[in-house]
Chain A
Amino acid sequence: MVESIIGIRGKDFVVLAQDANTTKYGILNMKFDTNRLFKLSEHCAMLAAGEPGDVVQFSEYVGKNIQLYKMINGIELSPYACANFTRHEMATSLRSRNSFLANLIVAGYSTNEHDQQRAQLYAIDYLGAMVTSNVVAHGFCQFFALAIGDRLWKEDLTVQEALAMLQTIVNEMGKRMAAYPHCVFVRIIDAKGIRVLDNMYPEKIIVTKPSELELQTSADMMDIHS
């Protein structure tokens, strides 16, 4: 819940962001360069957040199986297929001995010219419910990301606008979340593949000093020396 993963879909790209913290015991910040992105194919990737062991185990399992499909059949799975496969694995494991407490975002760019919607973005929660949307997020940042997305997302979103929206979300997270995201890793998936963009940092909060007037008590105002 504490880790944030966000996806924003534009006209022909998807921007993926994840906070880079790993916390322990609710209070310690162990690491501030954690990678939560798992590549599924040349144009498809998955962000995963949740129970640390489950995240890595499940993501590697799904990622390797998708790569195996490519090796056996010689073609890469589309983002839609990757997402449905992932959802199926998550749903099957739910009622078995090993269930995974991992929330995922699967995003990709479809290389099939016949697809109407080339940039694809799916959110899969830990129960295996899949949904597709323009802005998706998991964790506490969901409250901020979805609301800001409702306000700022529009058709034909450009990369700059998406990154500006993301910066707004990160600033809000920095202001309001007790688990302060020191650094946010940003990637983009488009026709050229998966690329890493510059890190994003929350805006520094400037708070005015408390005034001297507050230091005065009613006892001070009584003149006891005369």
Chain B
Amino acid sequence: MGDDMMSYNGGVALAMKGKECVAIACDKRYGVQNRTIATNFTKIFQYGDYCFVSFCGLATDVQTVSERLRFRVNLYELREQRKIKPTVLYNMLTNILYERRFGPYFVFSLVIGLDPKTGR
């Protein structure tokens, strides 16, 4: 059942870490089962100068989770008056996803970033 949801819209994302650099890539297809509807549906979202998150899975949850995360990150930046770090973003995301432990969002996420102080 869960697998059906994941392959309803489809999507692929790949992330890689190198020496003082990270890269993330995704496809731009928005499709419904075997039909391709649009080719401008990017699945990578930027939160802060050096943080990217990619969501793959059910398209509606991709958009809902990215908007929710954007909301929490905006509040964080307003309160803390600084840009969010990758580890903090990661913790925020796990919290958002676990809120729906019994009724989950059908997304797989990749968080990637460069810590501005250590460069890792």
Instruction: Point out the residues of chain A lying under 8 angstroms from B38, CB to CB.
Output: 123, 131-133, 136
Q: Which of B20-75 contact A (CB under 8 A)?
A: 30, 32, 35, 37-38, 40-41, 58-60, 62-64, 67
| Contacting pair B60 A131 (CB below 8 A) | no
Instruction: Point out the residues of chain B lying under 8 angstroms from A132, CB to CB.
Output: 38, 40
Is B18 on the interface with A (CB-CB < 8 A)? no
| Contacting pair A130 B63 (CB below 8 A) | yes
| Contacting pair A129 B35 (CB below 8 A) | no
Question: A123-B37, A142-B35 given as contacts; is B63 within 8 A of A129 (CB)?
Answer: yes
CB < 8 Å A-B pair total:
44
Is B109 on the interface with A (CB-CB < 8 A)? no
Interface secondary structure of B, over-half rule = mixed
In the bound assembly, the distance between CA atoms of A202 and B112 in angstroms comes to 52
B112 CB to closest chain A CB (Å) equals 24
Interface secondary structure of A, over-half rule = mixed
| Contacting pair B30 A129 (CB below 8 A) | yes
| Contacting pair B60 A128 (CB below 8 A) | yes
Q: Which of A2-60 contact B (CB under 8 A)?
A: none
Is A163 on the interface with B (CB-CB < 8 A)? no
| Contacting pair A133 B37 (CB below 8 A) | yes
| Contacting pair A129 B40 (CB below 8 A) | no
Is A143 on the interface with B (CB-CB < 8 A)? yes
Instruction: Point out the residues of chain A lying under 8 angstroms from B41, CB to CB.
Output: 131
Is B116 on the interface with A (CB-CB < 8 A)? no
For this complex, into which size category does the number of interface residues on chain B fall?
Answer: 10 to 19
Instruction: Point out the residues of chain B lying under 8 angstroms from A142, CB to CB.
Output: 35, 37
Instruction: Point out the residues of chain B lying under 8 angstroms from A91, CB to CB.
Output: 60, 63-64
| Contacting pair B35 A128 (CB below 8 A) | no
| Contacting pair B40 A131 (CB below 8 A) | yes
| Contacting pair A129 B9 (CB below 8 A) | yes
Is A118 on the interface with B (CB-CB < 8 A)? no
Instruction: Point out the residues of chain A lying under 8 angstroms from B30, CB to CB.
Output: 129, 131
| Contacting pair A133 B63 (CB below 8 A) | no
A142 CB to closest chain B CB (Å) equals 7
Residue of B35, B37, B103 touching A131 (CB-CB under 8 A): B37
Per-residue interface assignment for chain B, residues 78 to 116, with 1 indicating a CB less than 8 Å from any chain A CB and 0 otherwise: 000000000000000000000000010000000000000
Instruction: Point out the residues of chain A lying under 8 angstroms from B58, CB to CB.
Output: 127, 129
B30 CB to closest chain A CB (Å) equals 5
A92 CB to closest chain B CB (Å) equals 8
Q: CB within 8 Å of B: which residues of A?
A: 87-88, 90-91, 94-95, 123, 125, 127-133, 136, 142-143, 146
- Residue pairs across A and B with Cβ atoms less than 8 A apart, 5 shown, are A91-B64, A127-B59, A131-B30, A133-B40, A146-B35
The 5 closest A-B pairs by CB, nearest first: A129-B59, A128-B60, A127-B60, A129-B60, A133-B38
Given contacts A127-B58, A128-B60, 7 further A-B contacts (CB under 8 A): A91-B60, A95-B103, A127-B60, A129-B9, A131-B41, A131-B59, A146-B35
